[in-house]
Structure 1
């Protein structure tokens, strides 16, 4: 970058933090390009999961989460990221152009940056400890700061949401093409992407437990005694007023904000998109849970059992694979080059 703007070390450090963001099946569907005075985020359509995510909603949310991780990373390093979302309508894979200004980090930004390497997608059972409302309110505020609404599904809303999760799981399990794609992206041992075997537990058949995707070769054991506890999972739904590309990208940023805030509190969390991947099931969630707004993400949040071991980090692609100079590298989808 130009002199006076973030140097190479700063850019590399912040983008390395960005690519720790969660993504559907850990597909990491993003590319970053460094211009003369700006940093650019592109979707990588070659990593779209066509059976799971035919309309690219999960892909955009994943990229939005990486964008928010990048903003937090740069903020903690003393740079404010001025984001221009979807800067070129003719290039749908060009998701953001970022300019930078010097600014001292806040204590909150430092705390969120510190949460980035500690955040994990934890698919295990939660403990019987209640999540304090005093923790949920800051999560909702962080989501609202991204222009997204967070709703806690309780009572009837939780019933409809749980039913939607069960219906989506049942229909996906009956879809051979979906199951083949899921198997191809899971059960990994040492790959830099996909869902590792060591991070996925076997399906939990405890009565009342929400079903989960049947990832291949699950190798994660539940904490001793966890099955005997009531699972006090909190279900949070993130929704937007519209359902355009911008809304989905901002929902991804809000997802990152929620997950990092939860991690800073010590909570375990897990994004759920399966009930929103089937159009009619998603419409049910829209009507019965979100009061007509568009659901974009469901989050499981709770306390890990007291004796649960920390989860290992999932693989990430090398920085050189996702960060390239804008004026030399071919970009996904044949996107043009800009400085």
Structure 2
């Protein structure tokens, strides 16, 4: 491959990576290019100091970005040779991805790749249309392909417990002034030109409560921010599901992020949007309660709701130039 072609492929892969979901849209990653290798790093300046003390959510976010790199390279005809946590002495170096041999992308890879810039996080209720059973099975398979487990929560009592835990965590966190300020930092007011954080247009101004109700983050914090799309029509909780891993190491967090993004892109390809709820996962005792009492000893990496909505959502991302260090090729 010509040097120019290799650089074009690498730039396209990083461009895909920045569209990954991340907690509060912090985009907590950076990339460095050395020859035909991309290094994915955790950006410590974008880690949540209070909400993500252990860095779990940051690594899940970066794992989603890694999945996008893999998909983009394969869609562009190159295999991705991935090493996760390649250097114990450099904990911020999460993965390296080297351009491998030529490969022909299969139809599913092309399908997922096409959703990367289309996928949006949802922050409200859904329509009453259920997610088809066959699609749920496909999403479970997508997570398993990356070494994680996606468990649809069918039992109404278990759904109520997860909703109650989310609400309790939200109430406790909202009483913590420093924690609240950290969340507010990532809320974008209307008209903001920032390329990170949660846009005011990405959540409803007057959200309707669903039953059971899963608490949403308060990015507006008393301001009359928010959009109007779907806020009165979409009142269903949707399908509740939990993404888990057997172990709970840094490697598992990165794997969970890759599994999460694979699930999200497959869902997006079939018109399904996803809402995240991480409040209870940010409190050790609540997360441990879920592991012991609800999840058969597995570790929750994401609580989510899935469903249909007419709201397309908005998305903002930093340009590649802000996240990519080019060392030459």
Residue of structure 2 equivalent to 1:244? 249
Q: Does 1:210 align with 2:246?
A: no
Moved more, 108-117 or 266-275: 266-275
Residue of structure 2 equivalent to 1:334? none
1:6 offset after TM fit, Å?
5.5
- Provide the rounded CA distance (Å) in 2 between the counterparts of 1:57 and 1:224: 31
Q: TM-score, normalised by structure 2?
A: 0.93
Aligned to 2:111, the other structure's residue is in SS state helix
Aligned to 2:124, the other structure's residue is in SS state coil
Gap regions ≥5 residues in structure 2? none
1:272 offset after TM fit, Å?
2.3
Residue of structure 2 equivalent to 1:104? 104
- Provide the rounded CA distance (Å) in 2 between the counterparts of 1:207 and 1:106: 39
Moved more, 182-191 or 259-268: 182-191
Residue of structure 2 equivalent to 1:181? 182
C-alpha distance 252-224 of structure 1, shift in aligned 2 (>3 A): closer
- Provide the rounded CA distance (Å) in 2 between the counterparts of 1:224 and 1:200: 8
Give runs of aligned pairs for residues 1-339 of structure 1, distance below 5 A.
3=2, 7-101=6-100, 102-155=102-155, 156-188=157-189, 189-202=192-205, 204=207, 206=209, 208=211, 209-216=213-220, 217=223, 218-223=225-230, 225-226=232-233, 229=235, 231-304=236-309, 308-312=310-314, 314-326=315-327
RMSD of aligned alpha carbons: 1.8
1:222 offset after TM fit, Å?
4.0
Moved more, 235-244 or 157-166: 157-166
- Provide the rounded CA distance (Å) in 2 between the counterparts of 1:138 and 1:287: 27
Gap regions ≥5 residues in structure 1? 328-338
- Provide the rounded CA distance (Å) in 2 between the counterparts of 1:60 and 1:303: 28
1:273 offset after TM fit, Å?
1.6
Aligned to 2:243, the other structure's residue is in SS state strand
- Provide the rounded CA distance (Å) in 2 between the counterparts of 1:179 and 1:324: 33
Cα contact 1:167–1:281 (8 A) shared by 2: no
1:166 offset after TM fit, Å?
1.1
Aligned to 2:116, the other structure's residue is in SS state helix
Stretches of 4+ moved more than 6 A in 1? none
Tell me the matched-pair count: 321
Cα contact 2:77–2:105 (8 A) shared by 1: yes
Aligned to 1:298, the other structure's residue is in SS state strand
Aligned to 2:274, the other structure's residue is in SS state strand
Cα contact 2:60–2:256 (8 A) shared by 1: yes
1:309 offset after TM fit, Å?
3.8
Cα contact 1:85–1:95 (8 A) shared by 2: yes
